[in-house]
Amino acid sequence: MLLVQLSDLHVSNGFRRDMLEQAIDEVNNLAPDIIVITGDITDNGILQEYEKARSYINMLRCRNIIMLSGNHDYRNTGYLLFKRFFTPKQVYEDDQCIIATLSTARPDRDEGEVGYRQNLWLLNTLTASNDGRVKIIAMHHHLIPIPDTGSDRIIVLDAGDVLQTALEAGVNLVLCGHKHRPWIWQLGNLTIAYAGTTSSERMRGFFKNSYNIVDVHKDRIDITLKVVGGESMPLKDIVKAREVMVEG
Ligand SMILES: [Fe+2]
Ligand SMILES: [Fe+2]
């Protein structure tokens, strides 16, 4: 099963339109089974941005597109528009995987929150499907901080509860956006993968627009970082590259 994770498009007047168009072409050529877009589709949550963003999303050729909202989409009462322009899907299931999405954005706040009820729903949903399928959580805000991204106040407030659920339910993969920096943490059997920004100018630590290609097998998950219009590399090489950089 081939999944593409796009994130943080930040469609606005000043975003990198050429990068988004190139990424859409590349993703369509990959013909993925699922595309997950982990939030910040727009930059300010305003109507014109939503209209423009929807026209780009409509260019993606994939039957299963899962849209998540980000803190930027919720600005300026954009949370009302998100539901009008996109149909948020809580769970995607096929014979190989189950993907549960978390809504972490809150109106007019940059930090994220999952909340007791949503976390309980997550636990019940994911523990109910112990049938060998790969379990994936998708969320906008990052679950664990990422190096080189400075002060980390814009977090998911109850990250500890979500992490506990992920470990208890035997989740294989968490997909996050928000930080505009590709990264990966491996905690035992749990992989937490972060996508960079597909088409925003605001990059951190990794100064290229990118997205993630996730190849889900029964016994392993391969994640590739794809630079828009450029090279591919295993996402875990980003961690090694940083170590080399830091060690000089
Ligand atoms: Fe963002
Ligand atoms: Fe964000």
Residue 64 and residue 9: Cα distance in Å, rounded? 18
Laid out side by side, the sheet with 134-138 consists of 91-93, 97-101, 134-138, 173-176, 190-194, 183-187
**DSSP bridge pairs for 222:** 215
| pLDDT number for residue 25 | 98
Q: Is the pLDDT of residue 149 over 90?
A: no
pLDDT digits over 172-204, tens only? 999 999 999 999 999 999 999 999 999 999 988
Report which of residues 141 and 246 the model is more confident about: 141
CB 60 within 8 A of CB 86: no
| pLDDT number for residue 172 | 97
Q: Is the pLDDT of residue 152 over 80?
A: no
| pLDDT number for residue 245 | 61
| pLDDT number for residue 247 | 59
Compute, in angstroms, the gap from residue 66 CA to the centroid of ligand 1. 17
Compute, in angstroms, the gap from residue 5 CA to the centroid of ligand 2. 15
Which helix or strand (DSSP H or E) is residue 168 part of? helix 159-168
Compute, in angstroms, the gap from residue 219 CA to the centroid of ligand 1. 32
Q: What letters, b where the CB count within 10 A reaches 16 and e where it falls short, cover 173-189?
A: bbbbbbbbbbbbbeeee
Domains (ranges, CATH) in the chain? Answer: 2-247 (3.60.21.10)
| pLDDT number for residue 15 | 96
| pLDDT number for residue 91 | 96
Question: Mean pLDDT across the chain, nearest whole number?
Answer: 94
pLDDT digits over 10-36, tens only? 999 989 999 999 999 999 999 999 999
Report which of residues 219 and 133 the model is more confident about: 133
| pLDDT number for residue 240 | 86
Compute, in angstroms, the gap from residue 109 CA to the centroid of ligand 1. 13
Compute, in angstroms, the gap from residue 67 CA to the centroid of ligand 2. 14
Which-ligand-closest: CA of 112?
2
The band of 244, judged by pLDDT with boundaries at 50, 70 and 90, is low
Which-ligand-closest: CA of 181?
1
Q: What amino acid occupies position 107?
A: P
CB atoms within 10 A of CB 25: 12
Over pLDDT 70: what percentage of the chain?
98
| pLDDT number for residue 241 | 82
Which-ligand-closest: CA of 7?
1
**DSSP bridge pairs for 173:** 136, 191
Compute, in angstroms, the gap from residue 51 CA to the centroid of ligand 2. 19
